[in-house]
Amino acid sequence: MFPSRLPFSNQDIPVSSGSGFIVSEDGWIITNAHVLSNKQHIKVELKNGMLYDATIKDVDQKLDIALIKIDSETPLPVLLLGRSSDLRPGEFVVAVGSPFSLQNTVTTGIISTTHRGGHELGLQNSDMDYIQTDAIINYGNSGGPLVNLDGDVIGINTLKVTPGISFAIPSDRIRQFLADSYDRQRKGRMQTKKRYIGVRMLQLSAAVSQTFHILHFVLHFCSAGLLNQDVIISINGQSVHSTEDVRQAVQSDRVLSLVVQRANEEIKLKVVPD
């Protein structure tokens, strides 16, 4: 937090800074929800130095993603979302942001792991699998893009634990947030309650998946009939390719028809998300 002084007053007010990136030419911007916490006025400064007032359009505190909007008279440059599910450890990435208000700062690193569970970071009730990177992320980087060498956004810079260990929200979660946000705003609805099926998942490596034609271990018992080390093969007739496929199905469908592999047999289950 940086102090700012009210006009005609000696009173200091807290001002925080963060980063973000434009996802549409008409001024829609993605950032972290915590960057906007308790903020009544938001200003956005673009790379060219132009300042805009911004309005908050949607916030998901659990995901720590927010969508804001600025009004520009001309089309704005945008960043494209890549597919975080295609990431592999060892790939080079670039973190872009404004740490300590130093604009247009770029740091580089590699992907350390693509699936670091929120529970491993002490984040209670988190179903997020974060991207771990050694790219340096500091105060003010939050909300900025983590991009691959093609320039596609594969995550939002979110959390620094120590130098060399930082975390980003995967772009696949951003894409789903944007789709859900568009649907809510089109229908004029407030944010819907998140649904859960009470399991913790581990995505298997590509080699294991191809060898056994399976995709996920379910790590914890569940009242819906899922058992430890069950493997989810399909949901409602659609093959499952990632943990994100499972999360999307849980949020979009009221009843799930699962096919799971348990030991050497396939079992069909009906699951109703809470």
Return phi, psi of residue 121, to 5°: -95, 5
Does 142 qualify as catalytic in the annotation?
A: yes
Q: Which entry of 17, 19, 84, 142 is annotated as an active-site residue?
A: 142
Find all residues with CB under 8 Å of 56, minimum gap 6, and list them. Answer: 36, 42, 66, 67, 68
Closest by CA to 249, choosing from 176, 192, 183, is 176
Does 241 qualify as catalytic in the annotation?
A: no
Q: Which entry of 17, 19, 58, 64 is annotated as an active-site residue?
A: 64
Reported in sequence order, the residue ranges of 6-133 that DSSP labels E, i.e. its strands, are 12-15, 21-22, 28-31, 42-45, 51-60, 65-69, 92-97, 105-117, 129-133
* Residue 27 to residues 68, 81, 103, 165, 257, Cα–Cα distance (Å): 8, 16, 19, 32, 40
DSSP string, 146-209: EE-TTS-EEEEEEEEEETTEEEEEEHHHHHHHHHHHHHHHHHT-PPPPP---S--EEEPPHHHH
Does 64 qualify as catalytic in the annotation?
A: yes
- Give me the active site residues, please: 34, 64, 142
